Structure 1
């Protein structure tokens, strides 16, 4: 009799923050998906709409640029990226499959960003876990619809919500 396939999954670790100390806006995802972890790049999955959404907010064609230039443009505009989850077990890329989650010390991280005005959460999982990890804060907390293709809302519907980020950067 053959052994049953293992239901255990490897521990996935998030990426390093893409941030400068003068960031005004921090956008937090939950944990990068498989394509992003394999590429070691935020939002590497081609169907993820993150770069189109944030590019629209900034008025820049981020999705058309190479990854290094995307990050450079974000940082020039004082936007930082990171994830709520430091490590977790997950099969595939869906947040619903997250197990044994270890969140980051977000309160300590944001304390090191003295110009920070707001934290935006890319999706419900990031918002739920991120709000808990941040605790009481005077920062504006903004929940956004997920840029993931698992969120089947139309791009224009998502974009209207993401447009709220402009007020933080003006």
Structure 2
């Protein structure tokens, strides 16, 4: 069995958001594949983009530009909790020496009223390092990671879809 050495990783790309974003979706840290592809949820077996396409009943975005336009066009934002840490490969359970991203950079300049944690690892790090300073209590949805074998694509969509659509339709989150 190959044992990977822990290495210090710094988040390699910027958050995706604009002033119209209403929901911030947080992961923990980009996987090795995402870092290689220089964008969020880049592992071919991660179901994030398929889930979002299923929610909005559109084609799956393929390029970084299409994914960015998709996120912004649906009033979403994506980022990760962790700015840098020690990690072995893509293993969330190996994460140590965490430095978190300053979410206020995005929250102050957008219409974000909701935070969704994509899985338990994102929730764990958000709750440990950022809440309650970031005053938005997160909604935790099942991870889209391929490591979450308990959830099929259809089951992920059935959980994510009402959460996302209800939040986007919440009148209280609209700018007056």
Asked if structure 1 preserves the Cα contact closer than 8 Å seen for 2:131 and 2:137, the reply is no
For 1:21-36, what aligned pairs fall within 5 Å after superposition?
A: 21-36=19-34
Which among 149, 152, 165 is matched to residue 152 of structure 1? 149
TM-score (norm. length: structure 2): 0.83
Residue in 1 aligned with 2:86? Answer: 89
Distance 1:145 1:165 in 2: 13
User: Contact 1:107/1:135 (CA < 8 Å) preserved in 2?
Assistant: no
Paired with 1:79 and 1:108, the residues of 2 have a C-alpha distance of: 15
Aligned CA distance change for structure 1 residues 70 and 7 (closer, same or farther; 3 Å): closer
Label 1:140 to 1:97 Cα distance change in 2 as closer, same or farther (>3 A): closer
Partner of residue 110 from structure 1, selected from 92, 107, 110: 107
RMSD: 2.0
- Cα pair 1:117 1:140 within 8 Å, conserved: no
Per the TM alignment, residue 25 of structure 1 is displaced from its structure 2 partner at its CA by: 0.8
Alignment partner of 2:119 out of 113, 119, 123: 123
* CA–CA distance in structure 2, aligned partners of residues 91 and 138 of structure 1: 31
User: Residue 169 of structure 1 corresponds to which residue in structure 2?
Assistant: 168
User: Paired residue for 2:56, among 46, 55, 58?
Assistant: 58
**Partner of 2:42 in structure 1?**
44
Local SS of the residue matching 1:62: coil
3-state secondary structure, aligned to 2:6: coil
Q: 1:134 to 1:105 in 2, by over 3 A?
A: farther
For structure 2, the 5+ residue unaligned runs are 170-176
State the alpha-carbon separation in 1 of the partners of residues 39 and 143 from structure 2: 17
Partner-residue secondary structure (3-state), 1:35: helix
Q: List, as ranges, runs of 4+ consecutive aligned residues in structure 1 with deviation greater than 4 Å.
A: none
Residue 108 of structure 1 and its aligned partner are, at CA, apart by 4.8
Which residue matches 1:12? 9
Residues 4 and 89, structure 2, Cα contact 8 Å, conserved in 1: no
TM-score by length of 1: 0.86
2:17, 2:106 within 8 Å by CA — same for their partners in 1? no
